[in-house]
Amino acid sequence: MTEKEIRIDLSESEGKLDHFWESTGFTPASWLLEKEMEQAIIYLGSLPGGGISFVRIHYLLDLVDVKGEDGDEGFPSYDWGKLDQGLDLLVDNGLRPFFELMGNPGDFFQDFQGERNLLAWKELVRKLVNRYARRYGEDEILSWYFETWNEPDIEHFWPYGIEEFLNYYDACVLGLEESGLDLRFGGPGTALTLSDTFKSFIDHCAQGTDRLKGGPVSLPDFISVHEKGVKSHPEDLKPDTSGICEREKDALDYYKRHSRLTDLPFINDECDPQTGWGRIHTWRALPYYAGIVAKVINQHLRGIMEEENGQYPVLSNDNGFLGSWGNRTHFTRLGAEEEREKGRFELLKKPVHNVMTLLSLLGEERVKVSGLGDPCERDLGGIATGDDKRVALLLYNSSDKINCSGKTKLNLSFEDLPFERFQLDSYGIGEDCSFPFRIWEELGAPERPSPSQWERIRSAEGLTLLSSTEKVPGEKGSFSLSFVLPRPGVRLLLLSGLDGDREPLAGPHKLEAHHYPGIIEDREDLLLSWTGGEGKEWRRVGSYEVLASSSSQGPYKRINEKPLLSTAYVHSRPAGSGPLHYKVRALGRHGEKSPSCEEVEA
């Protein structure tokens, strides 16, 4: 077995770590109105500290209908009901849209050519912004991103031609400007490296004339593209992860040559290992996918962020779809189509969802990790953060080759740890932990698991806490440990200082219950979700405890087996056993217990 010496020196700061990867996406927007997506969104919003914050959704404007004409100008007036419902779901769950101005309300827009059409589009954008600024508050929508139409260089998405795309861009910008809010808007979100559409968009921004206002074109706030590891194919082609950064650099070099655009930040908002979310690639159910997501993020951190002075606001995996084990999704959906039509389904968390939880546990100050080499060339990589309260180290062992196994022994030495005593918690994703697919497969791949099979599958779905022990550093804050990291595999070590007073935890609030019939015989699902403490309190939470009782007087019994880091939990309970009384409390990493939140009867 190969061995690696890794050193993490807390005195060697590498600056701020923005959690630029906390985003996902899917299409179409109409899914927002379905029960399955409701549950998925609640789960996505439940990661600690906003581990997923943005959701990029195509065709949001298809949720808007035209209901008549507005005043003398003869522009359409709109029915926003369905879009309100979709956005409410996101916002209520702490998520923000990465809002593509895409879709065709009531099929009103036939082209983007005449001035009148462009002004109508501009009005649509202005009204949209004003509506949601009123509904959610200006601060909320100032924290969103707005983007152009998705992939205007693919005819299937944008059937109108390049010049019309540039007209469309100018109309979007004017609508946003007239809203009076300084929103973040960028594009072009193109699919093909240095496509004609991409280049024309850059040239338009650099030296074009604004179609509606005349004069120079208003600059976007960022340039976005899509670069993925390998093309769509029914076979499991090997992704070329480092090629993603290389092709992004081609786009960066292209626009940075234009002096007006040199300072614009860059975004890859579909940074997936393989194109084609809907094809079945079973590796998407496996720890392989979790490892590769961690690796691609680290490649961006070292390969692009450092060169761009940290100007890389968002990297999104487009994996918020709904589907089965092999689709590009966070969750596996069980349930035959006839059952799903009746609202009966189950969602299970895949390793790729759990890796987003691990990434969210990283802190905000990066520290140096030595001994790992260039993440574009090596399978083994890591990201470390540290402050005076906690140190986090994420390590992955991930090869681009899909069928590549192995093990590496890691000898870690931490230097200059800032505490006298600490709690060491270790979380893992690998073949033997946080891996429900393997259990489901061993059970004969049941389409409709029996209640006892379901218990086994569910107990493997969440993130696994491998160990939790108290430690004392040696001289000069040193601490060493060794363990074997399988390939593929991801590990997160969290060292939480135990010095000083233990402040009480305020604990969870806003507990809500959502009923789903599920597909398991004689069972029903109750999804509980809550908000975890105020501000940064979530950082001190080691897990949540969900308590249930048949009477509000108690006794209350804990119902979640594994330590739960997220703020949502499905209670799979005997059908008809409700209503029960539920409460949730937080357990601190230092053993503190918060008061439990107000109970919910459901």
Asked if 212 is part of the footprint of ligand 8U8 (rule: CB under 6 A), the reply reads: no
Find out whether 568 and 93 touch, Cβ atoms under 8 Å.
Answer: no
192 vs 206, which CB is nearer to ligand 8U8? Answer: 192
Whether the CB-CB separation of 404 and 475 falls below 8 Å is answered with no
Interacting positions 65-104 with ligand 8U8 (CB under 6 A): none
Nearest to ligand 8U8 by Cβ — which residue?
Answer: 277
Q: What sign has the CA pseudo-torsion 463, 467, 472, 478? A: negative
Between CA 541 and CA 459 the distance in angstroms is 21
Q: Report whether 167 contacts 185 (CB < 8 A).
A: no
Distance CA 47, CA 26 (A): 18
Task: Lay out the site mask for ligand 8U8 across 33-72 (x = CB under 6 A, - = otherwise).
Answer: -------------------------x--------------
Cβ nearer to ligand 8U8, comparing 279 with 514? 279
- E-state strands within 226-272: 266-268
Give the shortest CB-153-to-ligand 8U8 separation in angstroms. 9
Respond yes or no on whether the N-terminal peptide bond of residue 504 is cis (omega within 30° of 0): no
User: Between residues 28 and 373, which has the closer beta carbon with respect to ligand 8U8?
Assistant: 28
Which stretch in 275-283, 301-309, 354-362, 443-451 sits in contact with ligand 8U8 by CB under 6 A? Answer: 275-283
- Considering only residues 424 to 453 of the shown chain, the ones binding ligand 8U8 according to CB under 6 A are none
Asked if residue 414 lies in contact with residue 510, where contact means CB atoms within 8 angstroms, the answer is no
Measured between its terminal Cα atoms, the distance across the chain in Å is 53
Site for ligand 8U8 (CB under 6 A): which residue of 46, 150, 385, 426? 150
Q: Which of 43, 145, 266, 277 binds ligand 8U8 (CB under 6 A)?
A: 277
Q: Does 397 bind ligand 8U8 (CB under 6 A)?
A: no
Regarding 190 and contact with ligand 8U8 (CB under 6 A), the answer is no
Q: Is 24 in the site for ligand 8U8 (CB under 6 A)?
A: no
Please select the residue that binds ligand 8U8; options are 208, 243, 276, 310, rule is CB under 6 A: 276
191 or 217, CB closer to ligand 8U8?
A: 191
Which range touches ligand 8U8 (CB under 6 A), out of 148-156, 158-166, 178-186, 397-405?
148-156
| Identity of the residue, 155 or 374, whose beta carbon is nearer to ligand 8U8 in the bound complex | 155
Residue 545 makes contact with ligand 8U8 by CB under 6 A: no
Rounded to whole angstroms, the Cα distance separating 467 from 2 reads 23
Task: Name the pairing type of β-strands 541-549 and 380-386.
Answer: unpaired
The answer to whether the CB of 42 falls within 8 A of the CB of 76 is: no
359: burial class by Cβ within 10 Å (0-12, 13-18, 19+)?
Answer: buried
Residue 180 Cβ vs ligand 8U8, minimum distance, rounded to whole Å: 31
- Mind giving me the DSSP string for 407-430? EEEEEEEEES-S-SSEEEEEEEEB
275 part of the interface to ligand 8U8, by CB under 6 A: yes
- Closest distance to ligand 8U8 from the beta carbon of 80 (Å): 24
Does residue 27 touch ligand 8U8 according to CB under 6 A? Answer: yes
Q: Token pair for residue 248?
A: 């992004």
Q: Are 63 and 27 in contact (CB under 8 A)?
A: no
Contacts of ligand 8U8 in 462-491 (CB under 6 A): none
On the CB side of 191, how many CA atoms lie within 13 Å of its CA?
Answer: 17
From 66, 119, 154, 261, residue interacting with ligand 8U8 (rule: CB under 6 A):
154
> Shortest Cβ distance from residue 195 to ligand 8U8 (Å)?
10
Q: Which is nearer to ligand 8U8, 55 or 191 (CB)?
A: 191
Element (H, E) at 136: helix 115-136
- Which residue in 67, 137, 143, 66 sits closest to 99, CA to CA? 143
CB atoms under 10 Å from CB of 303, counted, come to: 19
Segment near ligand 8U8 (CB under 6 A); pick from 150-158, 244-252, 366-374, 536-544: 150-158
194 binds ligand 8U8 (CB under 6 A): no
Nearest to ligand 8U8 of 208, 276 (CB atom) = 276
Min separation Cβ 6 and ligand 8U8, Å? 34
**Of 32, 91, 17, 46, nearest in space to 353 by CA:** 46
# of chain residues touching ligand 8U8 (CB under 6 A): 13
The interface with ligand 8U8 within residues 499-538 (CB under 6 A) comprises none
Residue 151 is a binding residue for ligand 8U8 (CB under 6 A): yes
Binding segment toward ligand 8U8, per CB under 6 A, in 35-43, 272-280, 371-379, 418-426? 272-280
What sign results for the dihedral spanned by CA atoms 113, 119, 120, 125? positive
**Which residue from 151, 66, 47 is spatially nearest to 107, judged by alpha carbons?**
66
Residues 6+ apart with CB under 8 A from 500: none
Q: Is 236 in the site for ligand 8U8 (CB under 6 A)?
A: no
Q: Which residue has the tokens 């009901």?
A: 81
CB 200, min distance to ligand 8U8, A:
18
Instruction: Find, among 168, 296, 153, the residue nearest to 220 by Cα.
Output: 168
For ligand 8U8, the closer CB: 199 or 256: 199
CA separation for the pair 337, 442 (Å, rounded): 23
In whole angstroms, how close is the CB of 331 to ligand 8U8 at the nearest point? 16
From the list 59-67, 104-112, 147-155, 527-535, the region that binds ligand 8U8 by CB under 6 A is 147-155
Give the integer Cα–Cα distance in Å for 353 and 89.
Answer: 20
Q: Is 272 in the site for ligand 8U8 (CB under 6 A)?
A: yes
In the complex, minimum distance from the CB of residue 190 to ligand 8U8, in angstroms, rounded to a whole number: 9
Assess contact for 139 and 90: CB atoms under 8 A. no
Note the residues at the interface with ligand 8U8 (CB under 6 A).
27, 58, 150-151, 154, 191-192, 270, 272, 275-277, 318
